[in-house]
Amino acid sequence: MRLGFIGLGAMGLPMTRHLLEAGHQVTVASRSRGPIDRAVSLGATEGAGPAAVAGGADVVFLCVPSSPQVAEVVTAMLPDLGPGKVVVDCSTIDPEVERRQHDLVTATGAGFLEAPLSGGTAGAEAGTLTLMVGGDEVTLEQVRPAMDPFAGRIIHVGGPGMGQVVKLCNNLIYAAQMLATAEATALAVKSGVDPGKLHEVLSNATGDCVAVRTRLPVPGVLPASPASNGWQPGFMTDLMAKDLDLALAYGVDVGVPLASTAVARQVLTAASVAGYGREDFSSLAKVVFALSGIAGNGGGEG
C-alpha cells in the first residue's frame, strides 16, 4: 500500500518504521531534518512537503503537535486530495478543529479519519498503540491494514470529532492519576514509608492505576519509570498540559465542569515554570515534593 506520513516525532518515527517493516511504501515529510534522514535510512522516500506526500499516497497519516499545525498541513494537501485517498490524523487536537478538517477533506472526495493515540513512546516503539478512531466506519475498514502494523487495538468510537473527545477523556484521567500518585508518594515518603513497599501495596490494592504501575515518581523503585531514567519523557509535561487545555476548553463548550483537570493543569504549569516542560509529565511530582520539603525528588536525583 502507498502510504504517506507527515510528522516524524517521538511517535511518528517509530510508527513509520513499523509501516516499512510491514512492507508498505512510505513517503515522509517532517519539520526536522534528522528524523527524515532516519526514516529514509529505514527505506522511506522523502516527499517535498505535505502536498507531495499526499500526491503520491493512497493513505496519509498526520502526527503533529497542535491544532494549527494540523490545519496547516491539511490546507497544504487539499489540492492533491480526491476520491480514492484517505487522510488519517493521529494528532491530539481540538474536536471542533478536527471536525472542520473532516469537512474540508471529504469535500474533495477523499476520506478522513481521526485516530489519536494512547500508549506513549513505548507503545509506538512496540507497535502496541491504542487508536481511538472517529469518522466513517467503512473508511476505517478500508484503511485498517495500514494501521495494524503500529496498533495493538483499534476502536471506532463514533463520528467526526469523537476520537478526539475520547482521547481528551483518557488524558484528563491519566493526569489526575499522576497528581494523586505524586501526592500519595510524597505523603508516604515524608512519613518514612519505604517507596518500594508503597508500590507493592498500591499495585495490589484499590489505589492501583497506570500511573502507580508505570510512573511511581521515586528513582529506583521501577527500573523503566521516567523517575529512574532522568525523567526522560514517554509523554512530555508540555504536551500533557496542552491536552488538558483542550479538555478544559471543550468542557466549557459542552457545559461539563472539570475540577480535577483544572487542578492537575495548575500543577503542570508549575512543573513547566520549574523547567520540567520537556521532561516526562510525571515530573510534576518534583513540584509536589518541593512543596512538601522532600529533598532529592523523593529518594534519588533526577
Q: Can you tell me the distance from the alpha carbon of 211 to that of 203, in angstroms, rounded to the nearest whole number?
A: 10
Instruction: Determine the 3-state secondary structure of 197 from DSSP.
Output: helix
Contact 215, 227 (CB under 8 A): yes
Q: Can you tell me the distance from the alpha carbon of 252 to that of 119, in angstroms, rounded to the nearest whole number?
A: 27
CB atoms within 10 A of CB 190: 13
User: What are the residues whose beta carbons fall under 8 Å from the beta carbon of 165, sequence distance 6 or more?
Assistant: 95, 134, 157, 250
What is the tens place of the pLDDT at every residue in 247-280?
999 999 999 999 999 999 999 999 999 999 999 9
pLDDT of residue 298: 57
59 DSSP β-pair partners: 3, 86
Which candidate in 167, 190, 242, 286 is catalytic? 167
Contact 93, 246 (CB under 8 A): yes
Mean pLDDT of the 20-49 span: 95
∠ CA 43-236-51, rounded to 5°? 40
Contact 149, 24 (CB under 8 A): yes
What is the tens place of the pLDDT at every residue in 178-233?
999 999 999 999 999 999 999 999 999 999 999 999 999 999 999 999 999 999 99
* Predicted confidence (pLDDT) at residue 301 exceeds the cutoff of 70: no
Q: Can you tell me the distance from the alpha carbon of 93 to that of 37, in angstroms, rounded to the nearest whole number?
A: 27
Residue that the C-alpha cell 487545555 belongs to: 245
* Predicted confidence (pLDDT) at residue 299 exceeds the cutoff of 90: no
Asked if 167 is an active-site residue, the reply is yes
Long-range CB contacts for residues 42-45, cutoff 8 Å, separation at least 24 = 42/16, 42/17, 44/5, 44/16, 44/20
Q: Can you tell me the distance from the alpha carbon of 156 to that of 134, in angstroms, rounded to the nearest whole number?
A: 6
Q: Report all structural domains of the chain as residue ranges with CATH numbers, in order of start.
A: 2-159 (3.40.50.720), 165-298 (1.10.1040.10)
Instruction: Determine the 3-state secondary structure of 104 from DSSP.
Output: helix
pLDDT of residue 103: 98
pLDDT band with cut points at 50, 70 and 90 for residue 295: confident
pLDDT band with cut points at 50, 70 and 90 for residue 302: very low
Q: DSSP characters for 79-99?
A: GG--TT-EEEE-S---HHHHH
Contact 155, 130 (CB under 8 A): yes
What is the tens place of the pLDDT at every residue in 88-134?
999 999 999 999 999 999 999 999 999 999 998 899 999 999 999 99
pLDDT of residue 1: 87
pLDDT of residue 215: 97
What is the tens place of the pLDDT at every residue in 47-61?
999 999 999 999 999
Q: Which pTM value belongs to this model?
A: 0.93
* Predicted confidence (pLDDT) at residue 176 exceeds the cutoff of 60: yes
What are the grid coordinates assigned to 16, written together? Answer: 513509520
